[in-house]
Every structure is written in structure tokens, then in C-alpha cells.
Amino acid sequence: MAQAPPPRGQRITVWTRLRRSRPAMIGLALVVFFVALAALAPAFSAITGNSPYAYNPDALGPDTAPTGPLGGVSAQHWFGVEPRTGRDLFAIVSYGAQVSLLIGLASTAVSIMVGVAVGLIAGFYGGVADRLLSRLTDIIFGFPFLIFAIALSATVPASVPRPLLLILVIGFFGWPSIARVVRSETLSLRERGFVRAAAAQGIGSGRIIIREIIPNILATIIVFTTVSIPGKIGAEAALSFLGVGVNPPTPSWGRSISDAISWVQVDPMYLIFPGMALFLVTLGFNMFGDGLRDALDPSEAEASTTTSTEAAPAAAPVSTDPLSAGGQA
């Protein structure tokens, strides 16, 4: 039979442990900040009157470098302007957050869906399916992702939306890790008593997977999803850095960092702002993912419950027998 959902007190305890983790809360705040930055990018553009696609040569000097201190930082241009074009750097960073988060989240969703499906099939059915899918996983693990992505970008027609292409490519090469984790846990769960009991009652394999297996690996999937997002964002930035990411003039942190390298001596702000944005968003997801993993860890939950029980005042004499105290012999 399926495990009953945890009582309300236990769910509150998970959130309480997460909230008590300062790194997790800092990570969550960073994630929320960048999601808000991406969502409000059009509003900021309307407020400042700056578009990430509008060239502004008046903000540049004769050498096409930004005029004014700190790369042209002013009340109108909060992060300064881009060399050679005069485009507003804050608009580029805020709209670049949309591209990075869209590709990072969507490609992670693709990886999770494929990886969970492969892992469940391989782990639950075993036999030929397990051997074939395990060999496929090994092949994808050993495939040179970067070379394939560069070659694909040169052969795919320009009419194909580049964000969609990146989502599919990054997502396709990102599923083997979660597939191995899900397969391992499914192999363990299918031998458990409640799964065997469900099979003995004549319940179909599909219902067993949905009602018995998935609820017991859901926490693992959630944590793995969270810690996978920064890697996907970094992959998009790396491809854009190499010139095979989203097509210009679409804002991209990776391409801005690549272009800023040749200007770092003249305008270091051009490198600092996109670089810090990429660093902080990946740091935020990593910190939140680590905290979420600790909060959902069963051993942490048991330790927290044990500590609370020991700290509570005893209303009656406590027996020293571990069995009578609810422990294990």
C-alpha cells in the first residue's frame, strides 16, 4: 500500500529545518531576486527608458569606450553601458536573466523527465530493459557534449529558435545522472514489502510505479532538480561564451562575459556585472539545493525528532528500557 502523506507537524518540521539553515535562506533569497529581476525586466526597461536592443552612441567616447566613471554608470544607466554599442548594461543583465533562467529551468525539466522515466523503467522491470538502458546511459555519459553542441549549432538552420535548440541539447545530455539515482532507488524499493504486497494483490505495474515508487523517490527528485539547475545555467553561459549560444543581439550573460574580456582593462564593469549575476544565481541555487537536501534527509528528521523528544520535560518517570522508550534494541 502507498505510504500515507506525512502528518502536518512533520511537514512543518521540514520547512522549519530549512528555515533555520542560513545558507539555504540566503540561496533562496538569491533565487527569488533573480526570478523577480527576470520577471520585472520589461518594467525596469520602461522606467529607465532603456532597451537591451537600443544602441546609444552618444554614451561612447571616440574610442567607443563608455564615457564617464565606472563604465558610464549614471542615474539613467545603473550599470553603465556596453562598449562599442552603448546599450544599457542593466537592461542586458536583466533580460539576460530571462534567457538564462528559461534555458536553465526548461532544460532541467527535460533532463528530469527523461532521466526519471529511464531510471524507473530500468530499475523496476530489470532484465533486458535494465541492461539496454544502462548501456545507453553510459554512452550518453561518455559522449562529448561540447563538440556535439558546437557542431549542431553550425548545421541546424537559423530558422530554428536557438533557445529551443539549447533547451533540447542541454536537456538531452543532462538526464543520465538522475537516471542512475532513480534506477538505484527503484531497485531497492521494488524489493520492499509494500511493493511486493501491491504486486501480490494484482495491481498493475503502472499503478505500482505511480502510487508506490514515485512518492518514495519524490524528495530525491526535487533535490536533484534544484541542484541541477545551476549546471544547466552554466552550460548555456559556456555555449554563449564560445559563440554558439543564443544569437546576438539577444542578451546573454555568457556572450557579455566573452565580449568583456577584451575590454577588461578599459571597462572592468562590463565584465563584473554579468559575471556577478552568473555567479550569484548559480551560488543561490546551489546553496538552496544543499539546504533542501539536508532538510529532506530522513536521518536529519529523525535526529531533530529525537532531540525534541529528549528536550521535552518528562511528565512521568522514564523507563531505561530502550524498547519501552520507543527505541530499537
| Residue 293 contacts residue 24 (beta carbons within 8 Å) | no
- From the list 255, 228, 250, the residue with the least C-alpha distance to 239 is 255
Our measurement of the distance from residue 324's CA atom to the centroid of its chain's CA atoms, rounded to an integer in Å, reads 45
* Nine cell digits for residue 271: 565584465
Contact 306, 126 (CB under 8 A): no
Measure the CA–CA gap between 76 and 158, rounded to whole angstroms: 35
CA 218 to chain centre: 16
Q: Kindly give the confidence (pLDDT) of every residue in the chain, 329 residues in length, as a single tens digit, with 9 standing for 90 and above.
A: 444 455 454 445 777 888 888 999 999 999 999 999 999 999 999 998 999 999 999 889 888 999 888 889 998 899 999 999 999 999 999 999 999 999 999 999 999 999 999 999 999 998 999 999 999 999 998 888 888 888 887 788 878 888 999 999 999 999 999 999 999 999 999 988 888 898 888 888 899 999 999 999 998 899 899 989 999 999 999 988 888 888 888 899 999 999 999 898 889 999 999 999 999 999 999 999 888 888 887 554 454 444 444 444 444 444 433 333 333 33
Say if CB 283 and CB 31 are below 8 A apart.
no
DSSP 16-46: HHHHH-HHHHHHHHHHHHHHHHHHTHHHHHH
Does the structural domain 26-55+79-298 have CATH classification 1.10.3720.10? yes
DSSP state of 314: P
pTM exceeding 0.85: no
* Closest by Cα among 282, 185, 150 to 228: 282
Taking residue 66's Cβ as centre, other Cβ atoms within 10 Å add up to 28
Question: What does the radius of gyration of the chain's CA atoms come to, in whole angstroms?
Answer: 25
